Amino acid sequence: MDLPLVSIVCNCYNHAPYVLEAIQSVQQQTYKNIELIVLDNGSTDDSLHIIRDYLKDFPEVRFIHLNEPLPLPKAFNTMFKYTNGDFLIDLSADDVLLTDCVQKQIDFFQKQDDSTGIVFGNAYLIDENGQNPTPFFDVDNEGKVLDSRLHSFDYYLMLHSGKTFCSVSAMMRRTHFIALNGYDESLFFEDLDYWYRLSRRFRIRFIDDFLVKKRQLNHSLGAQIDAKGKHTHLLNLSLIKIYRSAISYNSPKENKALLQRIHYSMSVCFQHRLWADLLRFTYLKFLCQVHCLFR
């Protein structure tokens, strides 16, 4: 039986200390039918030279360098044009795939019907030095997740609970990515909006196993979520757009769940004195409450 091709896009922006480990984690996969595309997304550190020097021995790896960085959604959409795989992985150059990650994802996907658009699993959170691994989702003594809701993952669960998906451990089906017109390039980050849109039309399934290592960096986007600054403001603007779109098509039950996320965003704005963003979320809360009452 022919093995489906998996396209992995490794996006590097100032990840010089980590990018080779990310690339090598792809090359060391037990699953072999993989197409690797490495993007240097306008790095200002030594990433470009490190990648170029390493890939001299691997001409089968496509390498693309941009002089100016693109936002994450646009960067992946741009690289998608170079992919040929039936399945896609969006890999940050500071993260690491465990050696059997792709094999487990493909095995799981092949047990699903065409309605499944994403499979994802658990991840180890590691520090800048790759140490102190802790589970992204809490697990029992056998390494299985404690939150049983993950096994019946759906759109409502994403709205209702904050920590319900782990995009770094995800594999996407190509046909669904095309059907949804890829990532929304007007946003600062890509995963939440895409998972919302996909879960309303297709299925997302959870693999109860560890698939990746996600590095926690002080200067990463994830570290900026609760910090005052430019990144937080851009993040808020994207969240407002995502939530406002969701309000328009949500049921009253779904909007009540979304209110919890809006309240959390308001609390972050208040904590860091982001008053303009707080006003935007307050108006969004009002819209959401109106839709809860009158839709």
pLDDT in tens, 40-70: 999 999 999 999 999 999 999 999 999 999 9
Mean pLDDT of all residues in 120-131: 95
Instruction: Specify the pLDDT at position 224.
Output: 43
Q: Are 9 and 37 in contact (CB under 8 A)?
A: yes
Structure tokens given for 126: 């590691």
CA 265, 270, 273, 276 dihedral sign is: positive
Q: What is the pLDDT of residue 1?
A: 63
Residue spans of beta strands (DSSP E) within 26-61? 34-41
- Residues whose CB is less than 8 angstroms from the CB of residue 263 and which lie 6 or more positions away in sequence, other chains included: 285
pTM: 0.92
Mean pLDDT of the chain: 93
Cα separation, 283 vs 269, whole angstroms:
14
pLDDT, average across residues 180-192: 94
What is the spatial distance between Cα 179 and Cα 200, in angstroms, rounded to a whole number? 13
Is the four-CA dihedral 277, 279, 283, 289 of positive or negative sign?
positive
Q: Are 241 and 284 within 8 A, CB to CB? A: no
Enumerate residues 6+ apart whose C-beta is below 8 A from 120.
Answer: 165, 166, 167, 169, 170, 171, 204, 205, 206, 207, 211
For helices 191-201 and 230-249, angle between their N-to-C axes, nearest 10 degrees: 10
Domains of the chain, by residue range, sit at: 6-217, 225-294
Question: Which residues make Cβ contacts (< 8 Å) with residue 47, sequence separation at least 6?
Answer: 12, 13, 14, 15, 16, 19, 40, 93
- Kindly state the helix (H) or strand (E) to which residue 215 belongs, with its residue range: strand 203-215
Sequence-separated (6 or more) residues with CB below 8 Å from residue 218: 128
Instruction: Please tell me the distance from the alpha carbon of residue 25 to that of residue 103, in angstroms, as a whole number.
Output: 13
Q: What is the DSSP letter of 190?
A: -
At residue 199, φ and ψ (nearest 5 deg) are -70, -15
**Residue type for 54, please?**
Y
pLDDT digits (tens, 9 = 90+) for 131-162: 999 999 999 999 999 999 999 999 998 888 76
Under 8 Å between Cβ of 162 and 262: no
Q: What is the per-residue pLDDT across 74-103, written as a single tens digit (0 to 9) for each? A: 999 999 999 999 999 999 999 999 999 999
Structure tokens at 29: 């996969």
Report the distance separating Cα 213 and Cα 191, nearest Å. 17
Tokens at 241, concatenated? 């757009």
> CB atoms < 10 A from the CB of 293, how many?
9
Q: Coil, helix or strand for 123?
A: strand
- 110-126: average pLDDT: 97
Tally of CB atoms within 10 A around 62: 16
| Domain covering 6-217: architecture | Alpha-Beta Complex (3.90)
Residue with tokens 């328009």: 248
